[in-house]
Amino acid sequence: MKLQTFIARRLMLSIGVLLGLSILIFIIARVVPGDPVRLALGARAPQEVVQKVSREMHLDKPLYMQYGIWLESVLKGDFGMSLYTRRSVGHDIRAFLPATFELAIYAGAIMTVFGILLGTLSVQKRNSWVDNIVRIISYLGVVTPAFVFAVIFVLLFGYLLDVFPISGRLAAGIKPPPVITGMITIDSLITGNFRAFFSALTHLLLPALSLSMAGLSQQARIARSSMSDNLQKDYILAHRAYGIPERRIMFKYLLKPSLIPTVSILGLDFAALLSNAFLVEMVFNWPGLSRYGVAAILRKDLNAVAAVVMILGITFVTVNIIVDIAVAYLDPRIRLRRDRTCAL
């Protein structure tokens, strides 16, 4: 199968998945008991105002009509109004999504770089005390929820050592850079505002680290296991026999093929970052989409819930397509195998 055909097939499948997701979330959000408008306007809001807002949100119509109206608006780029923030959900998404993306990107970078580094170190020092410590830390990292790390980091770096900020995205005295991407570190770099850049970076570090711990540990474990397996392969033994230096074998011949499993689970790890971000955002008062999404669910803010789930769904699907393409590109056997399956 050609790579283009492979991509086209994955895209078509993804659209079907997203459509199914939208129907599911639309039904679930509406069958949960309680009137969202009454909840938003308060129990003392006059009935006629509740009815007026319900009409404006089309909640007086049958479910299938509500879905049709919603889908049509969404295709035009309009997600409707949020009852929580009282403004358009599209506006909210533009305001909150970059903060979560920025957090996830940094967490993803920490997770990938340090995960693979730790995995490699562990293999290099196999069965030594270094290897054992890395393995113990990896186990702890996988089983400990992100918010526990968040609380520990707040207490350690914010409270005891007092070296990192524990709330918000920028120090109070720093002027935020003009919004270009919405990611403060990038916007401040583009505009040459290094003071804002460093402030944003210090604010990012603890939440990103908390968020990355589980993925980092998983990456370290998988990298170690994958490299250990490959270490026994004939081609590595052959390299050794030819007298190629051990470091060169490790980084040039062993690391690259060993990365395929870690790349494969990157997509899943990235999705886990987005979903785990909620508690981290709560602890660090980070104005991100996950925090917004949970507030929307608690307040039954229908349009916001649907939009957040769809955005996360689209992100998850996109990341996985990219990962699949990357893996298929790295390892042609995967494409060929799918080709054979199709032929059958």
The residue written with tokens 């602890």 in the block is: 283
Q: State whether the Cα torsion 85-90-94-99 is positive or negative.
A: positive
Binding mask 304-343 for another protein (x = CB under 8 A): ----------------------------------------
Nearest residue (CB) to another protein, 145 versus 287? 287
Question: Which of 1, 10, 73, 168: binder of another protein (CB under 8 A)?
Answer: 168
Question: Which of 139, 159, 235, 329: binder of another protein (CB under 8 A)?
Answer: 159
Nearest approach in angstroms of CB 279 to another protein is: 10
Nearest approach in angstroms of CB 84 to another protein is: 6
Residue 194 Ramachandran class (φ > 0 left, ψ -120 to 50 alpha, else beta): alpha
Q: Phi and psi for 259 in degrees, rounded to 5?
A: -80, -15
Distance (Å) of CA 100 to CA 9, 90, 151, 185, 264: 29, 15, 19, 13, 22
How many Å apart are CA 329 and CA 309, to the nearest integer? 30
Binding mask 55-94 for another protein (x = CB under 8 A): -x---------------------------xxxx----x--
Q: Does 205 participate in binding another protein (rule CB under 8 A)?
A: yes
Nearest approach in angstroms of CB 243 to another protein is: 19
Q: Does 96 participate in binding another protein (rule CB under 8 A)?
A: yes
Torsion of the alpha carbons at 63, 69, 70 and 74, rounded to the nearest 10: 160
Nearest residue to 289 (alpha-carbon basis) of 120, 79, 119 = 79
Candidates 11-19, 130-138, 199-207, 213-221; binding stretch for another protein (CB under 8 A):
199-207
Residue 272 Ramachandran class (φ > 0 left, ψ -120 to 50 alpha, else beta): alpha
Question: Which of 1, 17, 18, 41: binder of another protein (CB under 8 A)?
Answer: 41
Structure tokens at 313: 């769904």
Nearest approach in angstroms of CB 219 to another protein is: 16
Q: Which of residues 128-157 bind another protein (CB under 8 A)?
A: 151, 154-155
Q: Does 274 participate in binding another protein (rule CB under 8 A)?
A: no
Complete DSSP assignment for 258-301: HHHHHHHHHHHHHHHHHHHHHHHHHHTT---HHHHHHHHHHTT-
The residue type at 32? V
Neighbours of 108 (CB within 10 A): 21
Nearest approach in angstroms of CB 91 to another protein is: 9
Q: Does 192 participate in binding another protein (rule CB under 8 A)?
A: no
The footprint of another protein (CB under 8 A) covers: 33-35, 38-39, 41-46, 48-49, 52, 56, 84-87, 92, 95-96, 113, 151, 154-155, 158-159, 162-168, 171-175, 195, 198-199, 201-203, 205, 251, 282-287, 291-292, 295
